[in-house]
Amino acid sequence: MDVISVIRTKRDRGELSPEQIDWVIDAYTRGDVADEQMSALAMAILLNGMNRTEIARWTAAMIASGERMDFSSLSRPTADKHSTGGVGDKITLPLAPLVAACGAAVPQLSGRGLGHTGGTLDKLESIPGWRARISNAEMLAVLDSAGAVICAAGDGLAPADKKLYALRDVTGTVEAIPLIASSIMSKKIAEGTGSLVLDVKVGSGAFMKTVEDARELASTMVGLGTDHGVRTVALLTDMATPLGRTAGNALEVRESVEVLAGGGPADVVELTLALAREMLDAAGLPDTDPAKALTDGSAMDVWRRMIAAQGGDPDAALPVARERQVVTAPSSGVLTRLDAYGVGVAAWRLGAGRARKEDVVQAGAGVELHAKPGDTVTAGQPLLTLHTDTPEKFDYALESLASAYDIAPAGTAFTAAPIVLDRIA
């Protein structure tokens, strides 16, 4: 077996054999296939695709590159959730403790942000003392005591994916549906959860820009999960507009705590409850009402135990950026569009995200939204507030916002798109 033959097969729109797939994943993980060679193969996959048989084998090879976790010792059924990434997408933070408060165990392995999409671990690391990296034994202990854990995947879990994901990010191949599906599902299947709910984002702020592409990705992942014995369902959700009122690390943690306290933005609450119901149903707990756990304080109790168990102080003050700049509405009327991608790029440029995996993020940086589509605004009123420790970045961030919103004349009719666009099971 040689890597040139594998690349040529996919370059020429051929079907990779099981032997080719097993060999190339193993050889790349061991370092026998160079990054530039795997980059060429990833680009060939992006351009020419894979069929279901190839994707299933690719996923299995990724799983086989490392260990598999086992939560059978827990007294609760396990349910996990994965989002394909968006702007202001802080849903994991209130969702995991909420579902745990309703009786399921939530082993949530999360990642960091790259580019304009935020990362759950970056958000939580704005809490003083909180640790993303914990051992498998610690993860099991937190699950047993708190009911939910949010942490980084260990080095032993699908190491082939960890290496390939970093390569895809810098070679323009992130959007390849077969590689997205196998990346997500290899980690989730190896993680050992009994059920999985996928939040597949659609719109300008998502990797999938159209409902058709999102549906293809969701169907592929649901099929992979089902084939490996994991009960899997997917929701397609809107990402044309940022979720909630903030995009940034500490800003989003603060907003998530508001949701756990029974408040918070309506769209964040709506999506959190929709995903919670799906997770509870998949875990065999369909009669539990997650809305009650937000109002009676039980979800907040789990949050506090979960954060403290990983070294964090749930009562500590969150970081605040040293500098702010307000963007005002240029005219009066109805805000009809607030582009998620533009806001996400602005938050990234202010320091909330990273261009390279080695970059350090600013905990307090980000964008605060004072109006959402459908709101009436007046000329001169605050529309957005930019937060950063490095004010020289304001102009760069403002460039991405110059065409990110539209204001129509007063009285213009506006109908908001639904948050949940489709369900695939």
Joined together, the tokens standing for residue 233 give: 């369902």
Joined together, the tokens standing for residue 9 give: 């097969």
Return d(Cα 131, Cα 69) in angstroms, integer.
Answer: 20
User: C-alpha angle 126/128/129, rounded to 5°?
Assistant: 115
Residue written as tokens 């995903």?
A: 275
Return d(Cα 228, Cα 121) in angstroms, integer.
Answer: 27
Please check whether residue 255 is in contact with residue 246, taking contact to mean a CB–CB distance below 8 angstroms.
Answer: yes
- The DSSP line for 270-322 is HHHHHHHHHHHHHTT-TT--HHHHHHSSHHHHHHHHHHHHTT--TTSPPP--S
Sign of the CA dihedral 6, 9, 13, 17?
A: negative
User: C-alpha angle 174/175/177, rounded to 5°?
Assistant: 115
Joined together, the tokens standing for residue 320 give: 């605040």
Return d(Cα 49, Cα 7) in angstroms, integer.
Answer: 13
Please check whether residue 176 is in contact with residue 10, taking contact to mean a CB–CB distance below 8 angstroms.
Answer: no
Please check whether residue 129 is in contact with residue 312, taking contact to mean a CB–CB distance below 8 angstroms.
Answer: yes
Q: Which residues are catalytic?
A: 82, 161, 168, 183, 187
Please check whether residue 225 is in contact with residue 415, taking contact to mean a CB–CB distance below 8 angstroms.
Answer: no
Return d(Cα 373, Cα 422) in angstroms, integer.
Answer: 21
Joined together, the tokens standing for residue 21 give: 């797939």
Please check whether residue 128 is in contact with residue 312, taking contact to mean a CB–CB distance below 8 angstroms.
Answer: yes
Please check whether residue 320 is in contact with residue 286, taking contact to mean a CB–CB distance below 8 angstroms.
Answer: no
Return d(Cα 353, Cα 167) in angstroms, integer.
Answer: 18
